[in-house]
Amino acid sequence: MSTRAAELAEQFEDVAQQREASTLGMWVFLATEVMFFGALFLAFSVTRSLHVESFSQAAKHLDILAGTINTAVLFTSSFTTALAVSALQQGQLKRVIGLLSVSIVLGGLFLAIKGHEYHEKWVEGFFPGNAFAVSGPAGNEVELFFLFYFILTGLHGIHLLIALGVTAVLVWLIVTNRVTPTRSMPLEASALYWHFVDIVWVFVFPLLYLIGGR
Amino acid sequence: MGAKTERSFIGVYLWLCLLLAGTVGAAFLHLGVINIIIALLIAGIQITLIAFYFMQLRRSNHLNWIVAIASLLWLSIMFALVIGDYATRSWTG
Protein backbone atom coordinates (compact mmCIF):
# COMPACT_ATOMS: atom_id res chain seq x y z
CA MET A 1 0.00 0.00 0.00
CA SER A 2 1.44 3.36 -0.97
CA THR A 3 1.70 6.15 1.60
CA ARG A 4 -0.82 8.20 -0.33
CA ALA A 5 -3.42 5.42 -0.22
CA ALA A 6 -2.85 4.99 3.53
CA GLU A 7 -3.55 8.69 4.04
CA LEU A 8 -6.89 8.47 2.25
CA ALA A 9 -9.76 6.69 3.97
CA GLU A 10 -11.69 4.56 1.51
CA GLN A 11 -14.96 6.52 1.64
CA PHE A 12 -13.35 9.62 0.12
CA GLU A 13 -12.61 10.46 -3.52
CA ASP A 14 -9.41 12.35 -2.76
CA VAL A 15 -7.39 14.03 -0.02
CA ALA A 16 -9.06 17.43 -0.56
CA GLN A 17 -12.53 15.94 -0.04
CA GLN A 18 -11.34 14.11 3.07
CA ARG A 19 -9.98 17.38 4.49
CA GLU A 20 -13.23 19.26 3.73
CA ALA A 21 -15.29 16.57 5.45
CA SER A 22 -13.07 16.70 8.55
CA THR A 23 -13.26 20.49 8.84
CA LEU A 24 -16.99 20.62 8.16
CA GLY A 25 -17.60 17.98 10.83
CA MET A 26 -15.67 20.06 13.36
CA TRP A 27 -17.62 23.22 12.49
CA VAL A 28 -20.92 21.37 12.92
CA PHE A 29 -19.77 20.19 16.35
CA LEU A 30 -18.75 23.75 17.25
CA ALA A 31 -22.22 24.97 16.18
CA THR A 32 -23.72 22.65 18.83
CA GLU A 33 -21.28 24.13 21.35
CA VAL A 34 -22.45 27.62 20.39
CA MET A 35 -25.99 26.60 21.34
CA PHE A 36 -24.73 25.01 24.58
CA PHE A 37 -22.89 28.11 25.80
CA GLY A 38 -25.43 30.43 24.16
CA ALA A 39 -28.19 29.21 26.47
CA LEU A 40 -26.00 29.94 29.49
CA PHE A 41 -25.12 33.42 28.22
CA LEU A 42 -28.81 34.07 27.62
CA ALA A 43 -29.77 32.92 31.11
CA PHE A 44 -27.03 35.13 32.55
CA SER A 45 -28.14 38.16 30.50
CA VAL A 46 -31.79 37.84 31.53
CA THR A 47 -30.95 37.26 35.20
CA ARG A 48 -28.54 40.17 35.15
CA SER A 49 -31.17 42.48 33.62
CA LEU A 50 -33.46 41.60 36.55
CA HIS A 51 -30.78 42.37 39.18
CA VAL A 52 -28.55 44.99 37.53
CA GLU A 53 -27.42 46.74 40.69
CA SER A 54 -26.42 43.70 42.76
CA PHE A 55 -24.80 41.93 39.77
CA SER A 56 -22.66 45.04 39.14
CA GLN A 57 -21.67 45.11 42.81
CA ALA A 58 -20.90 41.37 42.83
CA ALA A 59 -18.74 41.68 39.68
CA LYS A 60 -16.50 44.17 41.48
CA HIS A 61 -15.34 41.33 43.76
CA LEU A 62 -13.74 39.56 40.79
CA ASP A 63 -10.01 39.98 40.25
CA ILE A 64 -9.84 42.04 37.03
CA LEU A 65 -6.05 41.73 36.83
CA ALA A 66 -6.15 37.93 36.94
CA GLY A 67 -8.96 37.94 34.34
CA THR A 68 -7.03 40.24 32.01
CA ILE A 69 -3.83 38.21 32.30
CA ASN A 70 -5.78 35.03 31.64
CA THR A 71 -7.35 36.53 28.51
CA ALA A 72 -3.90 37.46 27.21
CA VAL A 73 -2.63 33.95 28.08
CA LEU A 74 -5.45 32.38 26.05
CA PHE A 75 -4.87 34.71 23.09
CA THR A 76 -1.20 33.74 23.13
CA SER A 77 -2.06 30.03 23.24
CA SER A 78 -4.42 30.45 20.26
CA PHE A 79 -1.65 32.28 18.42
CA THR A 80 0.87 29.46 18.98
CA THR A 81 -1.78 26.87 18.03
CA ALA A 82 -2.50 28.69 14.74
CA LEU A 83 1.24 28.84 14.04
CA ALA A 84 1.52 25.11 14.81
CA VAL A 85 -1.04 24.23 12.11
CA SER A 86 0.84 26.39 9.61
CA ALA A 87 4.17 24.83 10.63
CA LEU A 88 2.80 21.28 10.23
CA GLN A 89 1.55 22.06 6.71
CA GLN A 90 5.04 23.31 5.87
CA GLY A 91 6.58 20.14 7.25
CA GLN A 92 8.45 21.80 10.14
CA LEU A 93 7.80 19.02 12.62
CA LYS A 94 10.14 20.16 15.41
CA ARG A 95 8.59 23.60 15.32
CA VAL A 96 5.08 22.07 15.52
CA ILE A 97 5.99 20.11 18.65
CA GLY A 98 7.55 23.21 20.21
CA LEU A 99 4.55 25.43 19.44
CA LEU A 100 2.02 22.88 20.68
CA SER A 101 4.04 22.43 23.87
CA VAL A 102 3.89 26.19 24.44
CA SER A 103 0.10 26.06 23.92
CA ILE A 104 -0.22 23.28 26.48
CA VAL A 105 1.91 25.15 29.03
CA LEU A 106 -0.16 28.33 28.49
CA GLY A 107 -3.41 26.37 28.86
CA GLY A 108 -2.05 24.97 32.13
CA LEU A 109 -1.08 28.48 33.24
CA PHE A 110 -4.63 29.69 32.54
CA LEU A 111 -6.07 26.90 34.70
CA ALA A 112 -3.55 27.61 37.46
CA ILE A 113 -4.53 31.31 37.57
CA LYS A 114 -8.22 30.30 37.47
CA GLY A 115 -7.59 27.89 40.34
CA HIS A 116 -5.96 30.67 42.31
CA GLU A 117 -9.04 32.87 41.72
CA TYR A 118 -11.37 30.04 42.77
CA HIS A 119 -9.39 29.60 45.95
CA GLU A 120 -9.63 33.32 46.73
CA LYS A 121 -13.38 33.34 46.13
CA TRP A 122 -13.78 30.28 48.34
CA VAL A 123 -11.79 31.85 51.19
CA GLU A 124 -13.70 35.14 50.86
CA GLY A 125 -16.99 33.24 51.16
CA PHE A 126 -18.34 33.70 47.65
CA PHE A 127 -18.69 30.03 46.77
CA PRO A 128 -22.45 29.28 46.57
CA GLY A 129 -23.75 26.82 49.13
CA ASN A 130 -22.85 26.36 52.80
CA ALA A 131 -19.59 28.29 52.47
CA PHE A 132 -21.39 31.34 51.09
CA ALA A 133 -20.96 34.21 53.54
CA VAL A 134 -22.55 37.36 52.06
CA SER A 135 -25.46 38.55 54.16
CA GLY A 136 -27.74 41.52 53.74
CA PRO A 137 -30.70 42.08 51.43
CA ALA A 138 -28.70 41.64 48.21
CA GLY A 139 -26.95 38.48 49.49
CA ASN A 140 -29.15 36.11 47.46
CA GLU A 141 -28.56 38.04 44.27
CA VAL A 142 -24.79 38.12 44.83
CA GLU A 143 -24.97 34.34 45.37
CA LEU A 144 -26.84 34.05 42.05
CA PHE A 145 -24.07 36.01 40.31
CA PHE A 146 -21.42 33.70 41.73
CA LEU A 147 -23.45 30.66 40.73
CA PHE A 148 -23.24 31.92 37.14
CA TYR A 149 -19.56 32.75 37.64
CA PHE A 150 -18.65 29.24 38.75
CA ILE A 151 -20.84 27.49 36.15
CA LEU A 152 -19.62 29.60 33.21
CA THR A 153 -15.94 29.58 34.14
CA GLY A 154 -16.15 25.95 35.32
CA LEU A 155 -17.63 24.68 32.04
CA HIS A 156 -15.13 26.77 30.14
CA GLY A 157 -12.34 25.31 32.27
CA ILE A 158 -13.53 21.76 31.53
CA HIS A 159 -13.50 22.58 27.82
CA LEU A 160 -9.97 23.91 28.11
CA LEU A 161 -8.92 20.80 30.02
CA ILE A 162 -10.28 18.65 27.16
CA ALA A 163 -8.46 20.84 24.63
CA LEU A 164 -5.24 20.34 26.62
CA GLY A 165 -5.71 16.57 26.60
CA VAL A 166 -6.50 16.46 22.88
CA THR A 167 -3.48 18.62 22.06
CA ALA A 168 -1.22 16.38 24.16
CA VAL A 169 -2.49 13.36 22.20
CA LEU A 170 -1.83 15.26 18.96
CA VAL A 171 1.80 15.85 20.02
CA TRP A 172 2.10 12.10 20.56
CA LEU A 173 0.54 11.36 17.15
CA ILE A 174 2.94 13.77 15.43
CA VAL A 175 5.97 12.33 17.25
CA THR A 176 4.94 8.81 16.22
CA ASN A 177 4.37 9.98 12.63
CA ARG A 178 0.64 9.27 12.51
CA VAL A 179 -0.25 12.91 11.91
CA THR A 180 1.92 14.19 9.07
CA PRO A 181 2.13 17.26 6.80
CA THR A 182 -0.02 15.48 4.20
CA ARG A 183 -2.41 14.09 6.82
CA SER A 184 -2.81 17.15 9.01
CA MET A 185 -6.61 17.19 9.57
CA PRO A 186 -6.52 15.86 13.14
CA LEU A 187 -4.39 18.84 14.20
CA GLU A 188 -6.53 21.26 12.15
CA ALA A 189 -9.67 19.95 13.85
CA SER A 190 -8.21 20.10 17.38
CA ALA A 191 -6.90 23.62 16.64
CA LEU A 192 -10.45 24.70 15.70
CA TYR A 193 -11.61 23.40 19.07
CA TRP A 194 -8.84 25.27 20.88
CA HIS A 195 -9.78 28.53 19.15
CA PHE A 196 -13.43 27.95 20.02
CA VAL A 197 -12.54 27.63 23.71
CA ASP A 198 -10.79 30.98 23.28
CA ILE A 199 -13.94 32.49 21.70
CA VAL A 200 -16.10 31.35 24.62
CA TRP A 201 -13.73 33.11 27.02
CA VAL A 202 -13.87 36.28 24.87
CA PHE A 203 -17.52 36.52 25.98
CA VAL A 204 -17.20 35.11 29.50
CA PHE A 205 -14.55 37.69 30.43
CA PRO A 206 -16.43 40.96 29.64
CA LEU A 207 -19.82 39.63 30.77
CA LEU A 208 -18.56 38.59 34.21
CA TYR A 209 -15.61 40.91 34.87
CA LEU A 210 -16.22 44.11 32.94
CA ILE A 211 -19.75 45.21 32.10
CA GLY A 212 -20.67 46.30 35.61
CA GLY A 213 -18.02 48.99 35.40
CA ARG A 214 -15.16 49.39 37.84
CA MET B 1 0.12 28.40 4.24
CA GLY B 2 3.43 30.16 4.50
CA ALA B 3 5.27 33.20 5.73
CA LYS B 4 2.44 35.51 4.67
CA THR B 5 -0.13 33.60 6.70
CA GLU B 6 2.16 33.60 9.73
CA ARG B 7 2.64 37.36 9.44
CA SER B 8 -1.14 37.75 9.40
CA PHE B 9 -1.30 35.64 12.61
CA ILE B 10 1.13 38.04 14.29
CA GLY B 11 -1.00 41.00 13.22
CA VAL B 12 -4.18 39.37 14.49
CA TYR B 13 -2.52 38.49 17.80
CA LEU B 14 -1.38 42.09 18.33
CA TRP B 15 -4.88 43.38 17.50
CA LEU B 16 -6.42 40.93 19.97
CA CYS B 17 -4.14 42.20 22.76
CA LEU B 18 -4.76 45.83 21.80
CA LEU B 19 -8.53 45.28 21.87
CA LEU B 20 -8.18 43.53 25.23
CA ALA B 21 -6.43 46.61 26.62
CA GLY B 22 -9.21 48.74 25.13
CA THR B 23 -12.07 46.73 26.63
CA VAL B 24 -10.43 46.59 30.09
CA GLY B 25 -9.70 50.33 29.94
CA ALA B 26 -13.28 51.12 28.92
CA ALA B 27 -14.55 49.22 31.98
CA PHE B 28 -12.99 51.91 34.20
CA LEU B 29 -15.01 54.67 32.51
CA HIS B 30 -18.49 55.10 33.90
CA LEU B 31 -20.71 55.29 30.85
CA GLY B 32 -23.71 53.27 31.99
CA VAL B 33 -25.25 51.17 29.25
CA ILE B 34 -22.58 52.27 26.75
CA ASN B 35 -20.08 50.19 28.81
CA ILE B 36 -22.00 47.05 27.81
CA ILE B 37 -22.18 48.08 24.16
CA ILE B 38 -18.41 48.76 24.00
CA ALA B 39 -17.57 45.45 25.71
CA LEU B 40 -19.81 43.42 23.40
CA LEU B 41 -18.66 45.30 20.29
CA ILE B 42 -15.00 44.61 21.11
CA ALA B 43 -15.79 40.96 21.88
CA GLY B 44 -17.54 40.75 18.49
CA ILE B 45 -14.48 42.12 16.69
CA GLN B 46 -12.22 39.73 18.61
CA ILE B 47 -14.22 36.61 17.73
CA THR B 48 -14.41 37.73 14.09
CA LEU B 49 -10.61 38.02 13.99
CA ILE B 50 -10.19 34.61 15.64
CA ALA B 51 -12.71 32.91 13.35
CA PHE B 52 -11.49 34.48 10.10
CA TYR B 53 -7.75 34.18 10.65
CA PHE B 54 -6.85 31.64 13.37
CA MET B 55 -9.72 29.33 12.39
CA GLN B 56 -9.07 30.00 8.69
CA LEU B 57 -12.73 30.68 7.93
CA ARG B 58 -11.75 33.23 5.32
CA ARG B 59 -10.14 30.51 3.17
CA SER B 60 -12.54 27.83 4.19
CA ASN B 61 -15.13 25.98 2.12
CA HIS B 62 -18.38 27.98 1.99
CA LEU B 63 -20.23 25.06 3.59
CA ASN B 64 -18.34 25.95 6.79
CA TRP B 65 -19.54 29.53 6.46
CA ILE B 66 -23.13 28.29 6.30
CA VAL B 67 -22.63 26.26 9.48
CA ALA B 68 -21.01 29.20 11.32
CA ILE B 69 -23.67 31.69 10.21
CA ALA B 70 -26.50 29.24 10.94
CA SER B 71 -25.28 28.78 14.51
CA LEU B 72 -25.32 32.57 15.02
CA LEU B 73 -28.74 32.85 13.34
CA TRP B 74 -30.31 30.25 15.62
CA LEU B 75 -28.60 31.82 18.61
CA SER B 76 -30.09 35.21 17.71
CA ILE B 77 -33.57 33.67 17.38
CA MET B 78 -33.23 32.22 20.89
CA PHE B 79 -32.03 35.58 22.29
CA ALA B 80 -34.70 37.58 20.42
CA LEU B 81 -37.60 35.44 21.64
CA VAL B 82 -36.51 35.24 25.28
CA ILE B 83 -35.41 38.86 25.63
CA GLY B 84 -38.56 39.95 23.75
CA ASP B 85 -40.58 38.12 26.37
CA TYR B 86 -38.81 39.60 29.40
CA ALA B 87 -38.63 43.11 27.92
CA THR B 88 -42.40 43.29 27.36
CA ARG B 89 -43.71 41.64 30.55
CA SER B 90 -44.39 44.96 32.24
CA TRP B 91 -46.39 46.30 29.30
CA THR B 92 -50.02 46.78 30.11
CA GLY B 93 -52.90 47.40 27.71
- pLDDT at residue A2 is higher than 60: no
In terms of domains, do B17 and B45 share one?
yes
Domain boundaries, chain A: 15-210
Nearest to A23 among B54, B60, B75 (CB): B60
Q: Which of B55, B59, B69, B77 to mutate to test the interface with A (most CBs of A within 10 A)?
A: B55
Range of the domain at B90: 61-93
Q: What is the pLDDT of residues A123-176, one digit of tens each?
A: 999 999 888 988 877 889 999 999 999 999 999 999 999 999 999 999 999 999
Select from B24, B57, B85 the residue whose CB has the most chain A CBs within 10 Å, as the one to mutate to test that interface: B24
Q: Do residues B40 and B79 share a domain?
A: no
Same domain, B80 and B93: yes
Are residue B52 and residue B27 in the same domain, yes or no?
Answer: yes
Q: What pLDDT does A48 receive? A: 95
The string of pLDDT tens digits covering residues B68-80 is: 999 999 999 999 9
* One domain, residues B72 and B47: no
For residue B67, CA distances in Å to A24, A58, A159 come to 8, 37, 21
**Percent of chain B predicted with pLDDT > 70:** 98
Average pLDDT over all residues of chain A = 94
Do B33 and B47 belong to one domain? yes
Same domain, B48 and B68: no
Both B44 and B5 in a single domain?
yes
Nearest to A83 among B9, B28, B74 (CB): B9
Q: Tell me the per-residue pLDDT of B16-56, one tens digit each, with 9 for 90 and over.
A: 999 999 999 999 998 888 999 999 999 999 999 999 999 99
Q: Which residue of A has its CA nearest to B72?
A: A34
d(Cα A126, Cα B18) in Å, to the nearest integer? 32
Instruction: For an interface test with B, give the residue of A20, A56, A199 to mutate (most B CBs within 10 A).
Output: A199
| Higher pLDDT pick, A124 / B1 | A124
CB A71 within 8 A of CB B22: no
Q: Check A203 against B67: CB less than 8 A apart.
A: no
Residue of B nearest to A19 (CA): B61
- Write out chain A residues lying below 8 Å of B24, CB-based: 64, 68, 210
Residue of A nearest to B32 (CA): A213
Contact call for residues A178 and A171 (beta carbons, < 8 A):
no
Q: Which chain A residue is nearest to residue B35, measuring alpha carbons?
A: A211
Same-domain check for residues B54 and B69: no
Instruction: For residue A195, give every residue at least 6 positions away whose Cβ sits within 8 Å of its Cβ, in sequence order, or none.
Output: A78, A81, A82, B50, B51, B54, B55
Quote the pLDDT of residue B33: 87
Number of domains in chain B: 2
Per DSSP, B93 falls in state -
CATH no. for A15-210: 1.20.120.80
SS3 per-residue string spanning A166-197: HHHHHHHHHHCCCCECCECHHHHHHHHHHHHH
Q: Is residue B7 located within the same domain as residue B46?
A: yes
- What ipTM was predicted for this assembly? 0.94
B chain contacts of residue A90, beta-carbon cutoff 8 Å? 1-2
Concatenated DSSP letters for A85-142?
A: HHHHHTT-HHHHHHHHHHHHHHHHHHHHHHHHHHHHHHHTT-SSSTT----STTHHHH
